[in-house]
Amino acid sequence: MVSRTSFVGAFVSRRGLMTSVSPLMALAMIAPGAAFAQTVAPGAVRPDTPVQANTTTAQEAGTPQDQATAPSAQNNAPSPSGEVAEGEIIVTGLRSSLQRNLDIKRTATGVVDAISAEDIGKFPDSNVAASLQRLPGVSIQRSGARGEPTGITVRGFGGDFNTTLYDGRRISTATGGRQIDFSTVGSDFIGQLSVLKTPDVTLASSSIGATVDIQFPKPFDHPGFRVATSASGSLQDRAGQVVPTLGALVSDTFANDTLGILSSFIYTRRDTDTNRVYVSGWPGGNFAPCQLAGSTAATCAPTTDASAAPSNRRTLTGWFPQQYGAEQQRTKDERVDGRVALQWHPNNDLMVTLDNNFSRQTISTDIYGFGVWFSQESLRNVQQDANGTAVSFTQAGSPTDFTAAMNKQILQTNQTGLNVKWDVNEKVTVEADGAYAKSWLNPGNTIGSSNGDIGYGGALGTNLGFNVTADSNKAFPTISNFGPAGNGGRWADPTAIGSHVTVLQTQQNTDELKQFRGVVTWKEDNITLKAGGQYTDDTFNLLNRSTFTNNFWQAYAGYGAPSGQGSGISPLPSSLYQGSISLNNFIPGFSGSLPPSVLIYSPQAYQNYLTSLGNPQAQNVPGFNYNGGVNGFTGQFTEAVDPGSILSVNEKTLSLFFSGRMEGQIGSMPLHAAFGVRTENTRLLSIGQGRAPTSITRSTADPTLLSIAFTDVQPISNRSSYTYVLPSVDLRLEVTDNLQLRFDASRTLTRPGLSLLNPVVGIGNGQRVGALSGSGGNPNLKPYLADNFDVAAEWYYQRNSYIAVDLFLKNVSNFIVGGVTNQTVGGVIDPTTGRPAVFAITAQVNGPDATVRGVEIAWQQVFGDSGFGFQANGTFVNTNKPYDPKVVGQSGFAVTGLANSANFVGFYDKNGFQFRTALNWRDEYLSGFGQNQNTGSYGAEPTFVNQSFQVDLTSSYDVTKNFSIFGEVLNINKNKQSTHGRFKNQLLDVFDYGRRFTLGARYRF
């Protein structure tokens, strides 16, 4: 454990550094004897070397990367001895890229890691997040269904704690959070990724984890006519179909190199078949003694009534699985990326850049599975382990559903920006940057999810058995005595299967972002000063449509006549069934037993069949749920807008900033010092629509289903604002030519996700017995606030090689606690108990403080001119607020995302042949609070992600100077993603997404 005092030294109070001491005073306290004069350490790239990622002036913006950062420039930089070796070999490709990354890290003002393209149109990895995880302190989150890296965690802070920029600009995202899905970013033609772990106040201070700046190529990066093309095919081992990725980039400068244009286009497709076994949630609640195995009670009627017989009182703490099932997800992920950049560079003093970035990702998923539903009061013969988890039980009358879904998510973003850099004179540069962006989630007439449930229950319900045999990283639960009335031979018999429910759901969001940034830079010898401001106007709109809202989902519930529940259609036409999927050896390497198969059928064909039965309001339609409160249904399964989901949030932020950088010496040691301060004023307007439940009705067709009636909708709005001052100090001391030390202190913030700012508590109509729930936002949420400290040592002992150790500490306040409380709402009665209905309401409030501390260790080694080398790093973190699973009622506070991680990349790069092996490990971590079914009595139940280890291989060969072939094998060891609840044996999900093979070619000139 790293003590706080090792970070703050003589500073008695962390608050004192950030609020009582100005950056200039702090600088004076740290280096009172420093005499400032311009110096450059031997062996280092000069701080003013034109590196495209950090350009300040118009002249630097127009300096070609071919000259500023190309291998011929960087790899002929002075060696650690300060001299260039005679006849030194100039390298290109991967080793050249690694050297550029090292130079950026070494000369950066703060703690920065970078990944550079090896050449125009050649980025090291096929996914942006996959590249980022090679960096110290960075780990990734994967989409379980696709296996694709979709998000990053930096030093334990993931999601909204990290800000991602395009060329220094914020990106709009219609998902409702602050983070982006990195699978929506095409990596083929990225120029560079920069990860700023300490803030640059002139860019942003709105990220406690890190700021990721994605820099795209521009015409004057590589003057002249350039073309880069790539084509590849990929195959996931279970999907069995080769799908393409195609890309092209064309760039040219003309009119005596005063005008330039660059255009790129990428089409990417990934097909993935993923097997999943799941438990939708492990709610906490109390068992009655009569429910336990071995009970001799004559009758068992679990109740909370204190006057009931002791054996029937629910007094025993425990957890149970709400819903259990398995499914195969067949996903088609298509992405189109397009970019155009125009530059006008009439002279060395002016650079004007106009660019447009477009992306559209369409993810279509077909799902086929089964699910069984459990209610705690219905469980019998319960056996609990030492933690209270129900590891074995039976449930009489258990219904079984065969599920099918067609899901579609479209995420489209378009951003247009204009940047002007003008060198007023040799000392002053003015930069102005403006951008407009808009994102859409499911635009147009898209239906987000079309879901069908068929099966059997009622008279055909079974006395189902459930058993947990091992931890979630080894086994999934086993069910027994399945099939109609317990007849396993008829598990998927179409003659026993009838209609259950039909669900359509669509979320439609938009996010519109306007931003402007202006900065003036003044340089005088060893001093650089910057001053400016930034303004953003962000408007987020959300609404949900579904058949839950109008209750049409229950139109033909009941499973039909064989189940004896009064409604539903059975049997269904045999033409609906398109085969089956075997569940034998469904998750290789995991123990556990599943039923034999799941059925394949189209939910749209199922819905169309029910529609063809006619209008139940105009004629008697046998099987229609006339007693289920399905009013207004005329035969068409149409969605209705959920009034409680409608949300509009407008966020306006004005930021002012000032920074300075100085070069000096302490004795003979060069000192690089920077300070800055940024003020941020934010004003919020949140508008929602509220309604309250007036009655709850239990379905006669399916006793597990509930219908709710509501009051009329009322608009609700809220205004709020806040202002913060965010200072920073960065010091870099070159102790020797090869060894340097760093100290960094800053204050940063992370704003709550826009979707959390809803002023309304919403209760939906799609409710089930024993699982009443609702959710609400909080428009007055304040940002997380962090005081950050870094102390680092970096040893650059030879070209393209270094060792670095960075100790960091983050004191975070205003944590947003997403707790679950059980509440009655308006006195509405639960028909299953005859008492006021109790809803599990999820809401957010600003909560306590926490400290995160850790160490990053990085080692890069290239073995001379052999072509061999490696990168290795490890991150080790902990906190003073870990999660304690034994504290019942803990309502959603602990630091999430913290996990030790390690990465190793071994490579060979010589004579046109390149080979890389990447090993990535991340320990178990708490990803968040809340589960798919989160209706327990003990607050928001946690979700943990189990330890993961994945091995990837990539290789390429330059057939000619301009033409190369490449291949890639991802997840060669068939790593699986699994999660669990409060305890390790409470499996939530296990995804088996297999391996992916890619083969392709690149051409460039």
pTM of this structure? 0.85
Which range (555-569, 570-584, 702-716) has the least confidence?
A: 702-716
Stated length of the chain? 1005
Which amino acid type is present at position 203? Answer: L
Quote the pLDDT of residue 122.
Answer: 66
Quote the pLDDT of residue 65.
Answer: 60
pLDDT > 90? residue 260: yes
Strand boundaries in 237-279, DSSP class E: 243-254, 259-279
Quote the pLDDT of residue 250.
Answer: 95
3-state per-residue secondary structure call for 105-120:
HHHCCCCEEEEECCEC
**Confidence class for position 721, pLDDT limits 50, 70, 90:** very high
pLDDT tens figures, 647-660: 999 999 999 999 99
pLDDT > 50? residue 705: yes
Quote the pLDDT of residue 544.
Answer: 92
Q: Distance between CA atoms of 146 and 115, rounded to whole angstroms?
A: 25
pLDDT > 50? residue 501: yes
**Confidence class for position 4, pLDDT limits 50, 70, 90:** very low
pLDDT tens figures, 659-686: 999 999 999 999 999 999 999 999 999 9
| Residue 554, C-beta contacts closer than 8 angstroms, at least 6 positions apart | 501, 625, 628, 629, 630, 699, 701, 702, 705, 707
Quote the pLDDT of residue 97.
Answer: 83
Average pLDDT, the chain: 86
Higher-scoring residue by pLDDT: 282, 142 = 282
pLDDT tens figures, 439-498: 999 998 889 999 999 999 999 999 999 999 999 999 999 999 999 999 999 999 999 999
pLDDT tens figures, 558-569: 999 999 888 999
The residue assigned the tokens 């970096």 is 794
pLDDT > 70? residue 945: yes
> What's the average model confidence in pLDDT over 310-335?
94
> What's the average model confidence in pLDDT over 96-112?
88
pLDDT > 60? residue 902: yes
> What's the average model confidence in pLDDT over 600-610?
96
- Residue 578 has a CB neighbour count (10 Å cut-off) of 12
CB environment 936-954: b (16+ within 10 A), e (fewer) = bbbbbbbbbbbebebbbeb
C-alpha separations of 122 from 217, 264, 859, 921, 961 in Å:
12, 13, 24, 26, 14
**Confidence class for position 715, pLDDT limits 50, 70, 90:** confident
Which range (45-49, 142-146, 196-200, 388-392) has the least confidence?
A: 45-49
pLDDT > 70? residue 41: no
Q: Distance between CA atoms of 702 and 557, rounded to whole angstroms?
A: 6
Higher-scoring residue by pLDDT: 118, 32 = 118
**Confidence class for position 124, pLDDT limits 50, 70, 90:** low
pLDDT > 90? residue 580: yes
> What's the average model confidence in pLDDT over 195-219?
90
pLDDT > 90? residue 70: no
**Confidence class for position 421, pLDDT limits 50, 70, 90:** very high
Backbone angles phi, psi at 604, to 5 degrees: -70, -40
Of 330, 332, 640, which Cα lies nearest the Cα of 506? Answer: 640
**Confidence class for position 244, pLDDT limits 50, 70, 90:** very high
Quote the pLDDT of residue 974.
Answer: 93
Quote the pLDDT of residue 141.
Answer: 78
**Confidence class for position 115, pLDDT limits 50, 70, 90:** confident
> What's the average model confidence in pLDDT over 231-247?
92
**Confidence class for position 92, pLDDT limits 50, 70, 90:** low
**Confidence class for position 834, pLDDT limits 50, 70, 90:** confident
CB environment 651-675: b (16+ within 10 A), e (fewer) = bbbebbbbbbbbbbbeeebbbbbbb
pLDDT tens figures, 289-308: 999 999 999 899 999 888 89
pLDDT > 60? residue 46: no
pLDDT > 70? residue 314: yes
- Residue 83 has a CB neighbour count (10 Å cut-off) of 10
pLDDT tens figures, 509-522: 999 999 999 999 99
Quote the pLDDT of residue 55.
Answer: 60
Q: Distance between CA atoms of 673 and 729, rounded to whole angstroms?
A: 8
**Confidence class for position 936, pLDDT limits 50, 70, 90:** low
**Confidence class for position 15, pLDDT limits 50, 70, 90:** very low
Which range (107-111, 744-748, 762-766) has the least confidence?
A: 762-766
Higher-scoring residue by pLDDT: 884, 488 = 488
Q: Determine what percent of the chain is predicted with pLDDT higher than 70.
A: 89
> What's the average model confidence in pLDDT over 149-170?
86
Higher-scoring residue by pLDDT: 815, 340 = 340
**3-class secondary structure, 504:** strand
> What's the average model confidence in pLDDT over 739-754?
92
> What's the average model confidence in pLDDT over 888-916?
84
DSSP string, 733-784: EESSSSEEEEEEEEEEEEPPPGGGG-S-EE--S-EETT--EEEE--TTPPPE
pLDDT tens figures, 912-935: 999 999 999 999 999 888 888 776
> What's the average model confidence in pLDDT over 707-712?
78
> For 974, left (φ over 0), alpha (ψ -120 to 50), or beta?
left
Give how far the C-alpha of residue 27 lies from the chain's centroid of Cα atoms, to the nearest Å.
Answer: 37
Quote the pLDDT of residue 52.
Answer: 38
**Confidence class for position 207, pLDDT limits 50, 70, 90:** confident
Quote the pLDDT of residue 96.
Answer: 82
3-state per-residue secondary structure call for 302-349:
CECCCCCCHHHECCEEEECCCEEEEEEEEEEEEEEEEEEEEEEEEECC
Quote the pLDDT of residue 468.
Answer: 97
Question: H/E element holding 67?
Answer: helix 65-68
Instruction: Indicate the pairing of strand 835-846 with strand 284-287.
Output: unpaired
